[in-house]
Amino acid sequence: MDIEFHYYVTYLICVGAGLDAERAHKIAYSAEYVDDNNVVFEINKDTENEYKNYISQTFNITKPQTKLQRIYPFFHFVPGDVDEYSNKLADEKCPPLTTTPNNSNANEMLEKALNSENPYKIGLAIHAFTDTWAHQNFIGLAQGYNSITLKNPIDICHTNARRSPDIPDETWEDPRLDDEKVVNKERFLDALDKTYEKLFAYYGNGDKVKEKLKNDISQIIDKWDERADRIHQYKELALKYGTEKMPEYYEHEWFNRAVEEDYPEKYELEIPYIGIEFNPKNQFLKEYNWKDTDSYKETDWYKFQEAVKEHQQMMEEILSERIEEVEKIDEW
């Protein structure tokens, strides 16, 4: 999934399930920022307030099975158990760590995040939880099983399928399935359904609006071909399901509020055959410092980064037995 679901639809799910606008925004922002948190910073280096964050996404496609491999099954491709593997696969043999929708590991992850009542951890977990629908039948590693076409030689996660699994209105073919046709809208609406039920169980205090919300989202996906138009329609729904307008998502908002120096300049390069934008950044060309060394721990960026570290530790525990199935998984 991309920003459409991770931010805009997640926000609507939250307010529709009974959360207030501020908490909904923190959860939705966290859910999307998982994909944008791809640079390691050293803030206030060599001081008592020095801080180094973890990343939750990477565009470094050269190290999928060494130092960066845990990012994918922990944050984007939560694997299911063997008995949860899809019966729709033409080949019944699924490699270890295959992602399955709504799997038991992902449910345990989301339940623990909800129990923490930490909106940043909840957002992180919702990202990974909903991605089990979009990323089903793929593995969060470099694995030949991920290949669905010989036209693209890359077999890391779903790069072989390019962006197709992440686009709400996309219909594409997965030749590994008995029924090769994949309609993303069906998968995404099921993800909406299950996520809403989870949130409503914790925060709901009124009538359920799940079916109305699903119908509204379905109509938007059917009617509007351009992502910008769909996003505009999602924003229009904010006052229908909540009490305030939906805030815009600014990728570096939390970072720039916490750190004195602006987020480093970004350079966009399209990588052939992969269909993703590789973003080298000049973060090493200057030093970064907290705007306020007395209160930086109260900033959204710091709290999100701490949630990333806690999420990673939690997933190590949840997936401990599964991780052992992958050779050299302990290398960072």
DSSP 8-class letter at 312? H
With a cut of 80, say whether residue 109 has pLDDT above it.
yes
Is residue 199 included in any domain, yes or no? yes
Predicted confidence at residue 208, as pLDDT, reads: 93
> 44-53, 93-102, 219-228, 268-277: which range is least confident on average?
268-277
> 75-79, 223-227, 247-251, 293-297: which range is least confident on average?
75-79
Count CB atoms within 10 A of the CB of residue 330. Answer: 10
- Taking the alpha carbons of 238, 255, 74, 114 in that order, is the dihedral positive or negative? negative
Is residue 331 included in any domain, yes or no? no
Report the Cα 230 to chain-centroid distance in Å. 19
Is residue 33 included in any domain, yes or no? yes
> 16-30, 233-247, 255-269: which range is least confident on average?
255-269
User: How large is the average pLDDT for residues 130-140?
Assistant: 90
Q: Longest Cα pair distance anywhere in the chain, in angstroms?
A: 58
Is residue 262 included in any domain, yes or no? yes
Among residues 73, 205, 208, the alpha carbon closest in space to that of 142 is found at: 73
Predicted confidence at residue 81, as pLDDT, reads: 76
Q: Using pLDDT thresholds of 50, 70 and 90, give the confidence band for residue 94.
A: confident
Q: What range defines the domain where residue 209 resides? A: 3-323
Predicted confidence at residue 173, as pLDDT, reads: 87
With a cut of 60, say whether residue 213 has pLDDT above it.
yes
Mean pLDDT of the chain: 86
- The helix/strand/coil state of 272 is coil
Q: How does pLDDT run across 160-206, given as a tens digit for each residue? A: 666 889 899 999 888 888 888 999 999 999 999 999 999 999 999 88
Proportion of the chain above pLDDT 70, given as a percent: 77
> 37-51, 92-106, 203-217, 284-298: which range is least confident on average?
92-106
Predicted confidence at residue 225, as pLDDT, reads: 96
Q: Using pLDDT thresholds of 50, 70 and 90, give the confidence band for residue 158.
A: low
Is residue 328 included in any domain, yes or no? no
Tell which wins on pLDDT, 148 or 225.
Answer: 225
Q: How does pLDDT run across 52-90, given as a tens digit for each residue? A: 999 998 765 444 444 566 788 999 999 987 666 655 666
Is residue 330 included in any domain, yes or no? no
Predicted structure pTM score: 0.89
User: How large is the average pLDDT for residues 232-251?
Assistant: 97
d(CA 92, CA 82): 11
- The helix/strand/coil state of 271 is coil
Predicted confidence at residue 65, as pLDDT, reads: 42
Using only the alpha carbons of the chain, give its radius of gyration: 19
Predicted confidence at residue 291, as pLDDT, reads: 97
Cα 332 to Cα 69, 89, 139: the distances in Å are: 7, 32, 18
User: How large is the average pLDDT for residues 9-27?
Assistant: 98
Predicted confidence at residue 60, as pLDDT, reads: 52
Domain count for the chain: 1
d(CA 39, CA 46): 19
How would you class 133 by CB atoms within 10 Å of its CB: exposed for 0-12, middle for 13-18, buried for 19 or more?
A: buried
With a cut of 60, say whether residue 332 has pLDDT above it.
no
Tell which wins on pLDDT, 193 or 277.
Answer: 193
The answer to whether residues 103 and 132 touch, using CB atoms and an 8 Å cutoff, is yes
With a cut of 60, say whether residue 270 has pLDDT above it.
no
Is residue 10 included in any domain, yes or no? yes
Predicted confidence at residue 220, as pLDDT, reads: 99
Task: Quickly list H helices, 51-164.
Answer: 71-75, 104-116, 119-134
Looking at the DSSP assignment, which residues form a beta bridge with residue 288? 43
Predicted confidence at residue 67, as pLDDT, reads: 54
Q: Which residues of 8-22 are buried (b: 16+ CB within 10 A; e: fewer)?
A: bbbbbbbbbbbbebe
